[in-house]
Amino acid sequence: MAYVSVKGGADAIAQAKELVEYYRLKDKTKPIEIEQIKSQFRLAIDKIMGEGSLYAPEYAAIAFKQMEGDVLESAFVLRAFRATLQRKYYSDILDTRNMFVKRKISSSFREIPGGQVLGPTRDYSQRLIDSTKYNESEQEIENFLSSFEGKIEKEKMQEITSFNKVIDLLKAEGLLMPAESNYDKTVKDVTLEAVKYPAPRSVTLQMLARGETGGLMTLAYSSMRGFGDGHGTIGELRYGSVKVLVSDTQGRKRYIGNVNLTECEMITKINTTKEAKIPYFAIGYGLVLGQNETKAICMSILERGIRSGKSENPANNQEFVLYHTEGVEAMGFTNHLKLPHYVTFQSGLNNLRESVKRNTNIQDEKMKVYKEMAKQFQK
């Protein structure tokens, strides 16, 4: 009986689970250690933590290993784990002015206070495949590290302080657009309540920060290419570590650790506010976990676009952008198409057949063709 095949569900799941584990391990290579993933797949881990909305490098590395290197699936695992943790505190507002800067650049000015600091980046190196990586040995790694560390001037390290932001220069001159007086400053927590539109800016920022890098890039690119306000200028892009403080019940500030963040301030075209006719530069803001510059830049473009109020472009429309850049949800829904839909399909089929029957002439003609085709097929 045909139903037998449908009834093997539980067994089939168990077998599939085992098989996919076999696929992960079948070549009998050495198991990758979590420490290795954490350090050698730094950027993947950063992406997973950002999209997974949880700053936990160890767990991100476990997820990465478990999911055979699928970054979005790993982010999904991290999100599901995150949902089981109770939110006990909110941190104080992070002070990115006091970031320990590892990289900061501005495309708006040739020179900025503290200088352009390239930091760790591959932006200016050729993307040629490096076949020496095929046989990278521990000895080579050690040699590289000892020669690199030899070049560091330890006493100069102490002198590094924090840097003011580039936008402070413009602000001092009165060229930055003041915050719109009418904008909704309510702070929501998108992990605890459903979003209703139009949503306050806090929701935009949170959801973009959790959004999927590729999704954010697609929409931000559309905005730059012609379906939006065009090409902004990076006021400042900085990456570094920031202290996280939490106020305890007595109001004392407790230091709980550092997080690495990428922050982007995008200066967009000259605007005037409704209240005053003086022109200003408007600014878009992006802040993401870890080093993910593409995402931070795209976030700042979209954040600005959403606030512009010109929602005829998809990338400027809050509801459109926030719903569709939510990668974990988008991936889940896309993959649900693999679930059986025969009941729903039958209902549509039934409608279509009856509609066809209503026009029997067409029906007869078509049946002739189909029968002919079936005969051909059998031959």
Partner 1 sequence: MIENIKFNSSYNFAFIDETTKKEIRRKLLKAICIPGYQVPYSSPEMPIARGWGTGGLHLTLALIGKTDTLKMIDQGSDASVNACNLRDFVQLTTNCKTTYDTNEATLIQTRHRITEEKLTDKQIMVFQVPQPEPLRRVERYEYKTRQMHAESDYAKMWLTLYEAFVKWGDVMHGAGYPVMVNGRYIMSPSPIPRWDVPNLNMADCIYLFGAGREKRLYAVPPHTRVEPLEFEDVKFHIENFKDVKCESTGYNIAYMDEMYQDDGITKKFYINDSNFLDKMIEKIAVNQHSNKYINQLKKNEQ
Tell me whether the omega of the peptide bond preceding residue 198 falls within 30 degrees of 0, making it cis. Answer: yes
Beta strand spans in 248-322 (E) = 253-272, 279-289
- Within 220-279, the residues that bind partner 1 by CB under 8 A are none
Distances from the Cα of 155 to the Cα of 96, 120, 309, angstroms: 25, 21, 51
According to the binding rule CB under 8 A, does residue 312 interact with partner 1? no
Residue type, 30: K
Q: Of 39-47, 113-121, 136-144, 334-342, which part binds partner 1 (CB under 8 A)?
A: 334-342
Residue found under tokens 């029906």: 363
Phi, psi angle pair for 244, to nearest 5°: -110, 125
According to the binding rule CB under 8 A, does residue 198 interact with partner 1? yes
Q: How many residues does the chain have?
A: 379
Give me the least distance between CB of 244 and partner 1, in Å please. Answer: 15
Whose Cβ is closer to partner 1: residue 282's or residue 328's? Answer: 328
User: Given candidates 36, 271, 347, 360, which one binds partner 1 under the rule CB under 8 A?
Assistant: 347
Return the axis-axis angle of helices 42-52 and 57-66, rounded to nearest 10°: 100
According to the binding rule CB under 8 A, does residue 344 interact with partner 1? yes
Whose Cβ is closer to partner 1: residue 233's or residue 335's? Answer: 335
User: Given candidates 91, 143, 272, 350, which one binds partner 1 under the rule CB under 8 A?
Assistant: 350
According to the binding rule CB under 8 A, does residue 346 interact with partner 1? yes
Long-range contacts of 276-285 (CB under 8 A, 24+ apart): 280/175, 280/176, 280/177, 280/178, 281/170, 281/175, 281/176, 281/177, 282/177, 282/307, 282/308, 283/167, 283/176, 283/177, 283/235, 284/232, 285/205
User: Given candidates 339, 364, 369, 379, which one binds partner 1 under the rule CB under 8 A?
Assistant: 339
- Within 28-67, the residues that bind partner 1 by CB under 8 A are 34, 56, 58
Q: How many residues bind partner 1 (CB under 8 A)?
A: 57
According to the binding rule CB under 8 A, does residue 83 interact with partner 1? yes
Q: 3-state DSSP call for residue 308?
A: helix
Binding stretches for partner 1 (CB under 8 A): 1-3, 6-10, 12-13, 34, 56, 58, 76-77, 79-86, 191-198, 319, 328-329, 331-336, 339-344, 346-351, 354-355, 358, 374, 377
